[in-house]
Chains A and B, each alone.
Chain A
Amino acid sequence: MMPSGKLARMVVANATRSPKHFVLSAFGIVIGIAAFVFFLAGTLGVSDVLLGKVFPLDQVEVIAPHTSIAGKNLSQKMNADTVAKIKARPEVKDALPRMTLQFPATGYGKFEGQEINFEVGGFTDGIPDAHVAGDPKLEPVFKDWEPDGKATGPACVPKTPNNCPDKAWQYCDASDNMCHHRVPVIISPTVLELYNTQVADSHGLPHIGVMEQFIAERGRDRMHFWMGLGSTMMAGSNVSIDAAKHREVGAILVGVSDKARRVGLTIPIGYVERWNRSFVGDKAASEYSSIIVTLRNKDKLATFSQWLQDEPKLKLEDQLGASFATAMFVITFVLLGIAFVIVIISAINIAHNFFMQVTERRREIGVLRAIGATRADVMAIIVGESAIIGVVSGTLGSLFAWLASLGVDWALEHVAPKFPFKPDSLFNFEWWIFASAIGLSILFCVLGGLLPALRASRLEPAAALAQN
């Protein structure tokens, strides 16, 4: 067998001596590999946005199925036992309960000089403080500041300019004329995105990029608002709450977290438990509306879903994420299938080109055999030439795909309208995509060159040299 260094030199020299042949052989593979890289990076990038930001699949929400007879809600309720049962599952990393505010409440205040009113009852969840543990910006502020419901500050006079010592974090509560800590509120990236894309422009409000930066620039008091517990903006509400129970509490938006409910507000669960108990009753203070389950990884979703199907009292809140995941899988499969077909056809083209070459180079092969090349050497030379085409085609294909992605991303930024979760790039070029593209290119080129190489190696030198 000829030394590898000499083989490499001969292969490179042979592969590049006929640019026309090289281009003819490589063209199809370049297109196929470019399609492969473009589609794979594209579907991966879109999946990252859809399944990473919009529908995170490693985090699912479990609810009790809704059942009702004659308009009466007979749904099973979830409690601490349900949380413990879910936590015991091997595929579950963590399970944290949510409790929805079960009585009417409104939110109101001024933002950038505009009066803003919104419904809070039914749109506010309580979650354990531990849910945001690990987020250094939220962990110090998102907590139940008054676990026993008692004021943490001194006495004050309500309905006057805030006269509490810490004006940023305290408000004067009219229910006991005491300074209380404002209720910390977080919102989801979805709410922020909806605000930026759907509300801000139409209402002449500023865009909010990074919430913490916005707060730092404009001041924390801009994030203040009031929650009117017991009151509602909805006409026709059948719930009637004793006016004496009505209460105004100060709230403060402290940040954005993907742990927050997708649409609505999220506060520490202790507040919701106390308020539900006060406004609805003890039962409402122990029943969870849903349980957020963090899986060990996305692949465990199928196993967990199967277990839930066997549990009549539980089900996944929505399977939109899973549906998108399935859709993305099918789309990826189809697109990669197209790329593979192109590559396979190109490999057949390479085989055809090399068969022609072997015929044209019979005398050359005969000479090589006459001066000491073995059958294996001849085979290695032809296979090596096809592998070189594979390396170059794989690299060029990857490069073209990357350039095309730059064009698409440019169009996305400058031509496409704004939409929620609009990413900076639709593509995710992981290193392994390039590695597998070049590997695939080499594989198919070598496969294409294999049969011609075998034929070349089987040529009898005397017969090859006798060619006219």
Chain B
Amino acid sequence: MVSPVISLRDVTKSYGQGSARTPVLRGVSLDIAPGELVALVGQSGSGKSTLLNIVGGLDKADSGEIKVLDHDYGKTAERELARLRNTSIGFVFQAFNLLDHLTCLGNVILPAAFAAGGKDAPARGREALDRVGLSAYADRRPSELSGGQKQRVAIARALFGRPKLLLCDEPTGNLDSATGHEVIEFFQKINKDDGVTLVIVTHERRVSNIAQRVVAMRDGNIVEGAGTDVHTAGTGDDLGGPA
């Protein structure tokens, strides 16, 4: 039996209070196996980003079970969750979220600031930049880069800790078509070469096309591709194929 990288059971989340309370996730259950490349699709407000944030430990669910990389979030301390994000989970955001006062290399190796050791961080950072084809930009500031270059620096930062899970929230949303295509190809490459599990929130058909499974959400529910049967069935044979 292959244990899923992500296992969600009846996860709910609402924002606001009282009469203004708006449910965003209405009992979501989802399993994602190691090495899967999953596209999370749906209309705006369907709960995709919230689900991604909850999986990454950036937001808290109101109820339900969340298990990521063998960590039961209900029983995991805040410090341990931070360590998990530091070492095993990478994030790529639509807005890049690079810090302008740091160089590209400084941004890439920023996670090393929150871990012990790491004398080799600059070398590893350059290696990560090299992977995204930006080794020549190590000492530049993000403000000097194009959108596509910024996103590639953000990806290098996400890959710096050699994560097992990469969570991407609309990574091509701010990129032109050609650059977006390059980024998508890169995701496909690291999924294939490194076996990194990818969950990509997207509106784009192109991303859906390369995903092994497409999970569709509507009004806080998964309406397609939940894949929870693989967890309960206990066989890994059903995993991995496109939805």
Q: Which residue numbers of A lie inside 8 Å of B, CB to CB?
A: 1-3, 6-7, 9-10, 13-14, 17, 363-364, 366-377, 460-463, 465
Contact = CB atoms under 8 A, between A and B. Distances in A.
B82 A369 contact: yes
Interface in B153-168: 157, 161
Given A2-B113, A377-B114, A371 B86 contact: yes
Contacts of A375: 78
B110 A371 contact: yes
A388 to B, nearest CB: 15
Nearest to B167: A370
Given A370-B85, A371-B85, A2 B59 contact: no
B97 A17 contact: no
8 smallest A-B Cβ distances: which pairs?
A372-B86, A462-B59, A372-B114, A462-B53, A461-B58, A462-B58, A371-B111, A374-B82
A422 B79 CA distance: 63
A363 B100 CA distance: 11
B97 A366 contact: yes
B87 A372 contact: yes
Interface string B78-115: 11001101110001010101010100000000111111
A461 B78 CA distance: 12
A26 to B, nearest CB: 19
Nearest to B100: A364
B82 A364 contact: no
A370 B59 CA distance: 10
B116 interface: yes
Interface of B: 50, 53, 56, 58-60, 78-79, 82-83, 85-87, 91, 93, 95, 97, 99, 101, 110-116, 157, 161
Given A367-B99, A369-B82, 10 more contacts: A1-B79, A3-B116, A363-B97, A368-B114, A371-B86, A372-B85, A372-B86, A372-B161, A460-B58, A462-B58
Contacts of B93: 465
B157 A371 contact: yes
Contacts of B53: 461-462
A10 B93 CA distance: 23
B91 A370 contact: yes
A335 to B, nearest CB: 41
Contacts of A3: 116
Given A364-B99, A367-B97, A374 B59 contact: no
A243 B71 CA distance: 114
A17 B103 CA distance: 13
A369 B58 contact: yes
B189 to A, nearest CB: 22
Contact of A374 (B79, B95, B161): B79
Max chain A CB contacts within 10 Å: which of B82, B83, B86, B161?
A: B82
Contacts of B157: 371
Contacts of A370: 56, 58, 85, 91, 97
Contacts of B110: 367-368, 371
Given A370-B85, A461-B58, A462-B58, A10 B97 contact: no
A218 to B, nearest CB: 73
28 contacts: A2-B113, A2-B115, A3-B116, A6-B113, A6-B114, A9-B113, A10-B113, A366-B58, A368-B110, A368-B114, A370-B97, A371-B86, A371-B114, A372-B86, A372-B87, A372-B114, A372-B115, A373-B114, A375-B78, A460-B58, A460-B60, A461-B53, A461-B58, A461-B59, A462-B59, A463-B59, A465-B93, A465-B97
B97 A373 contact: no
Nearest to B81: A374
A7 B115 CA distance: 11
Nearest to A3: B116
Contacts of A377: 82, 114
A17 B58 CA distance: 27
Given A6-B113, A372-B87, A17 B82 contact: no
B78 to A, nearest CB: 6
A156 to B, nearest CB: 94
